[in-house]
A and B are shown apart, each in its own frame.
Chain A
Amino acid sequence: MTAYVIRRVWQMIPTIFGVILLIFILFNWVGGDPAQVLAGKISNPDQIANIRRQLGVDQPYWVQLLIFVKQVFTFDFGRSWSTNEEVSHIILTRVGPTLTIMLPVLFITTGLSVLFAVLVAYVRGTLTDRMVMIACTVAMSISFLVYIIVFQWLFGFILGWFPVQGWSESFWKNLTYYAPLPIMLAVFVGVAPELRLYRSFFLDEIHQDYVRTARAKGVPEKGVMLKHVMRNALIPILTNVGIALPGVFVGSFLLEVFFSVPGLGREVVTAVNRSDFPVIKAVTVYLAIITMVINLLVDVMYKFVDPRVSFK
């Protein structure tokens, strides 16, 4: 197991280097001279000269790459081009609000989807099953944007059940007052596709031989579903949650933009609008690293869920 983890970490190195290279090529090479990018956005020539010196624009590309690699490993991306705030400070302060929204979303969505998927798989092939599937397809085809615009207008503006937007300093007030509407929206939109997917996982298991054996030896249908099928279907579900997990840190940038949540997603969108490259570069590189670590953790967790998995 230790050997497996060490080997996986070892294999991450070329990928991390590749991510750094990709971001470097994109922003330093394709992106070009910050003096051109920032023309019209920053009027102070001293500031632009300073940014160019920090990036080493006048030096050969390999020196610039070394500067970038050093930035990644020292957690020092300098300051934002537009607000002059420390990039590391931006990232650390914006993660909190994003997680306040996204962690409840992840838990509630996964819980509800698994529950509904079991129920629908239980009545598979009936009219209810087909109606639910059609409803999911239709629900999925409406843009997330339309849901946000309509729900924010209906629940925030017309009915006044929730604040239209906003955020406070207190964690509890955020969680209980400002976060519920965005959370509800994300759950509402997230359940349909996951329900469809998880239902197919359950149906895959239902046709396996061990299910027939369980039925033949007299296990009631409920027991078959909850004990035999559920446990096996949880493996692909776990994979799927693992894939979704890194996204929790980016958050739903649309929700953050609409509800003025000062999270990472909104920060990235603002950064794109202002051509604030250091912020985007830092967030992208670190999230890629977080993604790789989470993937490794999910793979290790398989061992505990599924004893058949062995680390090679």
Chain B
Amino acid sequence: MSAILDHPPAVAGHHSPGLWLLAWRRLRHDRVGMVSLVIVVFFLLLMTASYMGLVASDWSQEKGVSYANPSFLAGAENLEAKAMEQRAKAAKAPPVDLSDVDPLAPRYKEWEERAKKIAVTEVKRSETLPLGGDKWGRDVLKKAIKGSEVSIFVGLSSALLATLIGTVLGAFAGYWGGKVNDFLEWFYNIFTSIPYILLILAFAAVATSTGKFGKGIVPIVLVLSLTGWTGIYRLIRAEYIKHANREYVKAAQAIGASNNSRMFHHILPNVSHVALVQLSQYTVGFIKAEVILSFLGFGVPVDMVSWGTMLAEAQNELVIGKWWQLAAAGLSMAVLVTAFSLLTDSLRDALDPKLR
């Protein structure tokens, strides 16, 4: 009895720190987690800046020579650019004189004069670019920034959508149980009995062949989220089963809270940390999936750049010794994915210290 009395009674009006504040405090002491958070936030800021057109908006302009060398390798020989130049020169050289047989010969002068009136500014193509150039002389650094924007955006939005689908379905199955649960479990079993990659490719086949999933990056976001919601559904369902009969939910019922209000106002905040950790895990997975799908040509459209399309170009470039596009896309992806994975681990530790 005395042991219980030892604890001071809670002071009225004193706020005990909530789950999120406690988690934030734990996260702040996690050095790896904080460094990862900084890197992830940096990438997100870069994505926003690039989306708003502040950086890399001119990524598609051909500023350098073909396969321009990176600035730190300015002296390296660039056979491809030389070959290009020679071809361009050969095209400009006066053709063999055929004026006696060519019926159009008398009009060439007139056309030439007319062509001269149109101002053509010959762009001086630079020999080097900060991180080198691709086949068309586009700046690899700018491509990598723009590619990060597209890849991260696709990863984040598909993860958000998948989390939304999984959470809503999981909430319904776990809260209602019975017939609703049976139906949703049937649905879940269908999706999980098909090997994941086949499921993605089946959806991608319909999306690319019919164009019914929309344009731009919408199809790939839909394909990834419609196939990827199952993991989070299972976790959220288990949480709802656990919470549905707790006292605070019964109390909410007693004061007349509706089913929807109990599901999404009372229980959801208490399970949202599970959803957050999953969201972060999904983002990593979907970024990786986007890269592979775009590489195969089922991802972002050809007029956009993502890490996947960069790697698709890099495969052929590597053979002729142009490694910078591979390095730029591969490295920026590796840095983000490492940081995101470590952040996910730290988030889980911070939000659920029991798991440690």
Please report A residues at the B interface, Cβ cutoff 8 Å.
14-15, 18-19, 21-23, 26-27, 30-32, 36-37, 137-138, 140-146, 149-150, 153, 157, 246-247, 249-250, 253-254, 257, 268-269, 271-273, 275, 277, 280-281, 283-284, 287-288, 291-292, 295
On whether the beta carbons of A149 and B311 are closer than 8 Å, the reply is yes
**Bound complex: CA of A31 vs CA of B191, how far in Å?**
18
Q: Chain B's nearest CB lies how many Å from the CB of A34?
A: 10
Would you list which residues of chain B between 194 and 235 have a CB under 8 Å from chain A? 194-195, 197-199, 201-206, 208-210, 212
* With contact pairs A32-B210, A137-B338, A142-B334 given, residues A287 and B201 touching in the complex (Cβ less than 8 Å): no
Kindly state whether residue B61 has any CB partner on chain A within 8 Å: no
The interface of chain B, by Cβ under 8 A from chain A, is: 186-187, 189-191, 193-195, 197-199, 201-206, 208-210, 212, 288, 291-292, 295-298, 307-308, 311, 314-315, 318-319, 326, 330, 333-335, 337-338, 341-342
Q: A15-B189, A275-B208 are in contact. List 5 more A-B contacts (CB 8 A).
A: A37-B209, A141-B334, A141-B335, A149-B315, A157-B319
CB distance from A15 to the nearest CB of B (A): 5
CB-CB < 8 A to B199: which residues of A?
Answer: 284
6 residue pairs bridging A and B, Cβ less than 8 Å apart: A27-B205, A145-B292, A146-B326, A149-B326, A280-B202, A281-B202
Instruction: Give the CA-CA distance A146 to B312 in the complex, in Å.
Output: 10
Cα A247 to Cα B203 in complex, Å, equals 18
Given contacts A31-B210, A272-B204, A273-B297, contact A143 B311 (CB under 8 A): yes
Contact of B206 among A31, A140, A146 (CB under 8 A): A31
Give bound CA distance, A36 to B210, whole Å.
8
Cβ of A143 and Cβ of B195 under 8 Å apart? no
CB distance from A36 to the nearest CB of B (A): 7
* CB nearest to A258 among chain B residues: B315
Q: Which residues of A contact B311 (CB under 8 A)?
A: 143, 145-146, 149
Are the C-beta atoms of B291 and A15 separated by less than 8 Å?
Answer: no
**By the criterion CB–CB under 8 Å, are B341 and A272 in contact?**
no
- Across-interface contacts of B342 in A (CB, < 8 A): 137
Specify which chain A residues have a CB less than 8 angstroms from the CB of B204 in the assembled complex: 272
User: Are A141 and B205 also in contact (CB < 8 A) when A19-B190, A30-B212, A246-B195 are?
Assistant: no
Please determine whether A287 and B334 come into contact, CB atoms closer than 8 angstroms: no
Residue from the list B206, B307, B314, B337 in contact with A27, Cβ < 8 A: B206
| A contact face: mostly helix, strand, loop, or mixed | helix
- Distance A30 CA – B308 CA, assembled complex (angstroms): 27
By CB atoms of chain B within 10 A, which of A32, A143, A145 has the most?
A: A145
Q: In this complex, what residue of B is CB-closest to A26?
A: B206
Decide if B315 touches A291 in the complex (CB within 8 Å). no
Q: Which residues of B contact A22 (CB under 8 A)?
A: 190-191, 194
Residues of A within 8 A of B319 (CB): 153, 157
Complex-state Cα separation, A18 to B334, whole angstroms: 38
Q: Which residues on the A side are within 8 Å of B296 (C-beta)?
A: 257, 269, 272
Q: What's the minimum C-beta distance from A72 to chain B, rounded to whole angstroms?
A: 14
List of A residues within 8 angstroms of B195 by Cβ: 246-247, 249-250, 287-288, 291
Query: In the assembly, what is the distance between CA of A226 and CA of B337, in Å?
Result: 35
When C-beta atoms are compared, the residue in chain A nearest to B335 turns out to be A141
**How far, in angstroms, from A12 to B142 measured CA to CA in the complex?**
52
Cross-interface CB contact of B189 among A18, A23, A250, cutoff 8 Å:
A18
Of A31, A143, A284, the residue contacting B198 (CB under 8 A) is A284
A15 touches B292 (CB 8 A): no
CA distance A146 to B198 in the complex (A): 22
A283–B201 Cα gap in the complex (Å)?
11
Residues of A within 8 A of B330 (CB): 142-143, 146
| A141 to B330 Cα, complex, angstroms | 10
Closest 7 CB pairs of A and B: A141-B337, A275-B209, A18-B190, A141-B338, A146-B330, A272-B205, A288-B194
A37 and B212 CA atoms in complex are apart in Å by 11
Hey, which chain B residues are within 8 Å of A19, CB to CB? 190, 193-194
Contact, CB under 8 Å: B193 / A37: no
A253 and B198 CA atoms in complex are apart in Å by 10
Residue from B187, B198, B311, B318 with most neighbouring chain A CB atoms (10 Å): B198
